[in-house]
Amino acid sequence: MVIVVRYFGGALLGTGGLVKAYTQAVQLALDEATTINMEYSQNLMVRFNYSHYSSFENLFFNIMNQVIDIQYSDVVSLKIWIAVDKLDDFIEKVDQLTGGPLPLNALKKGLYHTL
């Protein structure tokens, strides 16, 4: 949807001039517009030992929608967004990487996230 707002009446432009002005305004707006994809995502907190973190980074940064925050303390803690349809595969691969179930804390369930 495009809305064009004019602050001056169009009497001087005439009908054809108004159509041309509105068309140009819409075209300029569409030229600058970008597509936004929405994906049903899960917000998680993941904690790793430093020994697993570099492998995690190499394997998973390309499938996560967004890394919100990384904290480095005695472990590496990440707040991430991951697509719900990738979540089961993500958890399985992380468990394989770490050699056991990884405690994942869901921060907010079932939210849409902009890519």
Q: Where are the domains positioned within the chain?
A: 1-33, 38-114
Percent pLDDT > 90 in the chain is 10
Provide the residue-wise pLDDT of the chain in tens; the chain has 115 residues.
Answer: 888 887 776 567 777 888 888 899 899 999 998 887 788 888 888 887 888 888 887 788 778 888 889 999 988 888 888 888 888 888 888 778 777 765 555 544 444 444 3
Enumerate residues 6+ apart whose C-beta is below 8 A from 5: none
CATH topology of domain 38-114: Alpha-Beta Plaits (3.30.70)
At CA 33, angle to CA 28 and CA 41, rounded to 5?
170
pTM score, two decimals?
0.55
**Sign of the torsion formed by the C-alpha atoms of 50, 54, 55 and 61:** positive
**Residue 97 DSSP code:** H
For 22-44, the pLDDT digits (tens) are: 899 899 999 998 887 788 888 88
